[in-house]
Amino acid sequence: MNQATTTYQLIDGKVVAAQVKKSLKARIAALAERGIIPGLAAVLIGDDPASQTYVDSKAKACAKLGLYSEVITRSADISQEELIGIVKKLNANPKIHGILVQSPLPGHLDELGVTLTIAPEKDVDGFHPHNVGLMLIGRPGPLPCTPFGIIKLLEYYGIDPEGKEVVIVGRSNIVGKPIGAMLLQKAPMANATVTFAHSRTRNLPQVTRRADILIAAIGRANFIKPDMIKDGVVIVDVGINRVEDPSKEKGYRNVGDVDFEACAPKSSYITPVPGGVGKMTIAMLMFNTVTAAEKAR
């Protein structure tokens, strides 16, 4: 029987995100020579603190790279028609190459209707059904930022999914489904055997123990335990969950979907939370915005 791995390597999202951003600088400079500054607009509805923090971090990332950034805020009681009108104006604005409408939206708004209004070429979140379709058939287009970031993490650390069994715990439209579709492609950093597991999966630990690469995106704190993984597994933890911690100034700390302290010794590679996948999401948003600017007329 294999012994648990005594040493493991952290998959450092900070390092990889910095490398992605650094690689964009020459592309941004080339655009500047043509008089083009990549522009990103974020639309924030309501006053959700987590959404505000995330939008602020996107604006700061734009500023550091020299991208043009707009943040449009509206109250939670905005009408569907007014929000659609904002998106249409951004579609027509040549200074804006990327549009994102921060989720979640208030319950009275139709999120799909808003997404469908975004011009597919400005959909830097990769959520428009047109772009989802391109992704599914393996054609070029903007890829969802978090799954795209996961691929970049694996690539940086030389973890090739080809031929490996990847188990994805979670089936969201934002992470689970798209990362599975991307890893299935006949393409570099793909060609994996993909299994989706979720809250209705029977004998879940039996399924997750098959994984050479385990991607946890179920949204439950410390859900993945050591008895659910095999020795030497690569663990990618997408979860960000708040748990109470009186020792912290804020009274809480963020943890992933994986019980890091217990599972890390059995893994070969593992992402920390924070400092792992989350750092990549914004980096790939910058990547998609620069790419959209390059493709714009």
Report in angstroms the alpha-carbon separations of 218 from 28, 158, 239.
36, 25, 7
In whole angstroms, give the CA distance from residue 70 to residue 50: 18
Residue from 254, 250, 244 nearest 275 by CA = 254
Write the single-letter amino acid at 140: P
Of 21, 122, 123, 125, the catalytic one is 125
Contact present, 236 and 153 (Cβ < 8 Å): yes
Of 58, 152, 177, 279, the catalytic one is 58
Contact present, 283 and 20 (Cβ < 8 Å): yes
Residue recorded with tokens 């080809």: 162
Contact present, 88 and 43 (Cβ < 8 Å): no
Contact present, 269 and 6 (Cβ < 8 Å): no
The string of DSSP letters for 8-65 reads -EE--HHHHHHHHHHHHHHHHHHHHHTT---EEEEEEES--HHHHHHHHHHHHHHHHH
Residue 295 falls in the annotated catalytic set: no
Of 102, 122, 152, 212, the catalytic one is 102
CB proximity list for 92: less than 8 A, separation 6 or greater: none
Q: In the 8-state DSSP scheme, what is residue 156?
A: H
182: helix, strand or coil: helix
Cite the active site residues. 58, 102, 125
